[in-house]
Structure formats: structure tokens, C-alpha cells
Amino acid sequence: MTTSLHPYLEMRKKYNEVLSNIDFIIHNHDDLLQLNDEINNKVKKDIDDIQNSKTDFTDLKNKIKQLKDNISIKIYALCQHEFIDDCIDIDPDYSQNIRYCIICEYCE
């Protein structure tokens, strides 16, 4: 693996972890609102704070996605690609042929 490529691959991995965590927070936003109602906490400020935090996390997610996209472009440019052909299972009855780089995981 190209030495200068490794930090970018690690960065992309960390971006994926952060995006996954943000998705979890966004996904659970509605549950937080419902729980808030169930315990009869009708304080408008609390609800507004929760709604604003969802917007903040959504904005953050979009910014991190853009950073990840920029890193992916850099990885593609730096990688000395080694493509292989593979077959992946989509479901028990269907598989699909793919071609990807074993270094940076770029799919053609």
C-alpha cells in the first residue's frame, strides 16, 4: 500500500464511523420527542432544543459527507489501483459481479 495513501484511508474510515453515529442520533430524534411527550414534559424550550439539535446534526452530517467525498477523490488520485473481479451476494438467490480496487476499495 502506498504510504501517503494510508492516512486518507484511515480518515475515510473515521468519517464513516462519525456518519454512522450521526445517523443514529438523527434516527432516534423522533423517539426522543415521543419520550418527552410520554413523561408529560411539555416545556417548549426542551422541544425546541431537541429540534434544533437535529438540524445541527443534519448540517454536521452533510459537512462530514462532503469532507469524506473530498478524501475519496484524493484517495482515488493517490492510489496505485489493483483491481480484482469478485462476486457478491445481494440476497440468497441473487449475486452480482463487481470490480474493485483491493487497496482503496474503489468500484468501477
Angle, in degrees to the nearest 10, between helices 6-27 and 29-38? 30
Q: Are 43 and 25 in contact (CB under 8 A)?
A: no
Give residue 26's pLDDT band: very low, low, confident or very high (50, 70, 90): confident
Q: How high does pLDDT run on average in the chain?
A: 86
Which residues, including other chains, have CB under 8 Å from residue 81's CB and lie 6 or more apart?
A: 101, 103, 104, 106
Task: Report the 10 Å Cβ neighbour count for 90.
Answer: 8
Give residue 33's pLDDT band: very low, low, confident or very high (50, 70, 90): confident
The model's pLDDT over 51-94, given as tens digits with 9 standing for 90+, comes to: 778 888 889 999 999 999 999 999 999 999 999 999 999 888 89
Give residue 96's pLDDT band: very low, low, confident or very high (50, 70, 90): very high
